[in-house]
Chain A
């Protein structure tokens, strides 16, 4: 897992973890919506010493829409953990916009595009990658192989709050509450200023 607060480095040849993610990326490419794959890791739980215990890397960031998307094709009863992570992310980084895209949403999307026959092979455990699913090169810089070309990164690592979202913050002698507040301030620095066009 990449360092918290810094963009993940998806170089050419890296792949999606799940077939549904590759399909989702192709849909975004088709409609020319810029995306980045797992560009950022957000710490969501710390121990009393400030060490990061749990992090969350949403699957997609759509820079033009300033929207994070977490895609899950697990059955509804199995998504509690993801729901909890998304809830936690929203608490800690209230200025981030994140949408959890459930199996039923994915199924509806496939139905809409006449690809419902592919739902089972792209969903749940069947869709988990054995041999890696590679996205085909996307338009205008969008690519699973490298999110670097589109939009801007979710930059939470700049400014004085740097340490609060960096793993090195575990060496920070501030109280846990102070560190949390600093994380919130850092997140606040990322202020969505517009919605989609």
Chain B
């Protein structure tokens, strides 16, 4: 892939500004704090895209909480890889049995990864599992999964920034923007 030296040049439109995101994260933090009042929460972030969201969200939750990180392989390799299965590249570092778990995702589109993760985490016997996603792209949904906390419902566009990448680039943009087709069509 080819990207500009100034990553902003590859963004056709800013979908969510830094301010919009910040306000929404505060709002989500308040809701989560209220819903889980009196309980201890484990936030599970799915690497790598949800890292900025997780970092901001956890500081807006006024509860005793633990954080943990997971990473799973994504489809898209060679023919050999494509005959395989999704793999856990990084598992939880602590047990979650009998704990309230909030899975923190950057974006839900097809729901395939989330569906897999929820099934996997349920096998670890948490008291509850809920999902918090900054972005929801329902137009692409294949697997219908209830998302308990949604930041923004977004249109069907290829978005980058605030953790979201294309070819591992653009994650460090402070906003969420729509990538220009020229940036991914070669």
Mark A residues whose CB is within 8 Å of B: 26-33, 65, 67, 69, 99, 104-105, 108-109, 111-117, 136-137, 139, 195-197
Residues of chain B in range 85-126 having any CB-CB distance to chain A below 8 Å: 85-86, 109-113, 115-116, 118-119, 122
Structural contact, A108 and B140, CB atoms closer than 8 A: yes
A196 to B119, CA, bound (A): 10
A10 to B86, CA, bound (A): 26
Structural contact, A196 and B85, CB atoms closer than 8 A: no
Structural contact, B158 and A33, CB atoms closer than 8 A: no
10 A-B pairs, CB-CB below 8 angstroms?
A26-B83, A29-B85, A32-B86, A33-B115, A33-B143, A65-B144, A108-B158, A109-B140, A116-B184, A196-B143
Judged by a CB distance under 8 angstroms, whether B38 is at the interface is no
Residues of B in contact with A, size category: 20 to 34
The residue that A33 contacts in the complex, of B74, B109, B112, B167, with Cβ under 8 A, is B112
A105 to B144, CA, bound (A): 16
Q: Which residue of A lies closest to B74 (CB)?
A: A113
Q: Which residue of B lies closest to A195 (CB)?
A: B144
Judged by a CB distance under 8 angstroms, whether B128 is at the interface is no
Judged by a CB distance under 8 angstroms, whether B35 is at the interface is no
Q: A108-B158, A111-B184, A116-B185 are in contact. Are A31 and B113 (CB under 8 A)?
A: yes
The 10 closest A-B CB pairs, nearest first, are: A113-B76, A136-B83, A31-B112, A30-B75, A114-B76, A196-B143, A26-B82, A195-B144, A113-B75, A196-B144
Residues of chain B in range 166-180 having any CB-CB distance to chain A below 8 Å: 167
Q: Which residue of A lies closest to B168 (CB)?
A: A114
A197 to B144, CA, bound (A): 8
**Neighbouring B residues of A31 by C-beta, 8 Å:** 75, 86, 112-113, 115-116
Additional A-B contact list (15), CB under 8 Å, known A65-B142, A111-B158? A26-B82, A29-B85, A31-B112, A31-B113, A31-B115, A32-B86, A32-B116, A33-B143, A65-B143, A67-B142, A108-B140, A112-B110, A196-B111, A196-B144, A197-B122
Q: Which residue of B lies closest to A114 (CB)?
A: B76
Residues of chain B in range 118-148 having any CB-CB distance to chain A below 8 Å: 118-119, 122, 140, 142-146
